[in-house]
Amino acid sequence: MTGEGDQGVAERLNSLLATACLPQLEPALGLRFARYCSLLLRWNARVNLTAIRDEEGVLSRHFVESIACAQALPAGIASLLDFGSGAGFPGIPIALCRPELAVTLAESQGKKAAFLQEALRVLELDATVHSGRGETLSEQSDCVTLRAVDHMAQAVKAAAALVSPGGWLALLTTGLELPVLQAAAGAGLAWIEPVKLPGADDRMLALGRRVSLPA
């Protein structure tokens, strides 16, 4: 059942997207994001999923940035791994906005992985949760995303090895951090011009395409 609260959240999210000059969401999709927001805030009251604990912060920082990422990812990819998914960013918004993708959410912390499973159930999303470290996966993906994971440079090195030939490594980061992360990813990736993400802190989406196998 959809309540007036969900409708208001969906409208607020679309307003933030419009301010960021991003395409707005269809009504049904906006309501699914509202349910995701409600679930996240309820769980975050007892499980530390994210330091952002208010609705406005979730919408403006987590949702808008993740939706911008989903809209900017290259066409033609079929599988996506969200490495260190945490509370589901950007993996769940990508799964919502790009239903053609086979999305895997890798998260090693048990409580966060449990939240991801519940989010997929509530949102009726056909995605997969890998309750373990991303680097333990053997299957490569057409796109691997990372956003604000612990030990980011170390994680980028591991994630880069999971990008299939011709696939993409997608880093949500800042201009200051980007050179360090590109170096950590190693040779064999051809980086295109970063896409500026909405919000403060010089946030950007950096995309590197796998052109040769990692050393």
Q: What is the mean pLDDT of residues 29-56?
A: 94
Ranges of H-type helices in the chain? 4-19, 27-44, 55-57, 64-72, 91-97, 110-123, 152-160, 178-185
Q: Whole-angstrom Cα distance, residue 186 to residue 199? A: 29
Residue type (1 letter), 177: E
pLDDT score recorded for residue 169: 98
Which has the closest alpha carbon to 104: 144, 161, 156, 147? Answer: 144
Read off the pLDDT of residues 61-114 as tens digits, 9 standing for 90 and up. 999 999 999 999 999 999 999 999 999 999 999 999 999 999 999 999 999 999
Q: Which domains does the chain have, with CATH numbers?
A: 4-210 (3.40.50.150)
Read off the pLDDT of residues 119-156 as tens digits, 9 standing for 90 and up. 999 999 999 999 999 999 999 999 999 998 888 999 99
Tell me the CB-side half-sphere exposure of residue 123, using CA atoms within 13 A. Answer: 31
State yes or no: pLDDT of 3 exceeds 60: no
Place of tokens 């010089």: 202
121 is written with which tokens?
């159930």
Sequence-distant (≥ 6) Cβ neighbours of residue 106 within 8 angstroms? 81, 82, 83, 84, 85, 130, 132, 133, 134, 137
Tell me the CB-side half-sphere exposure of residue 211, using CA atoms within 13 A. Answer: 10
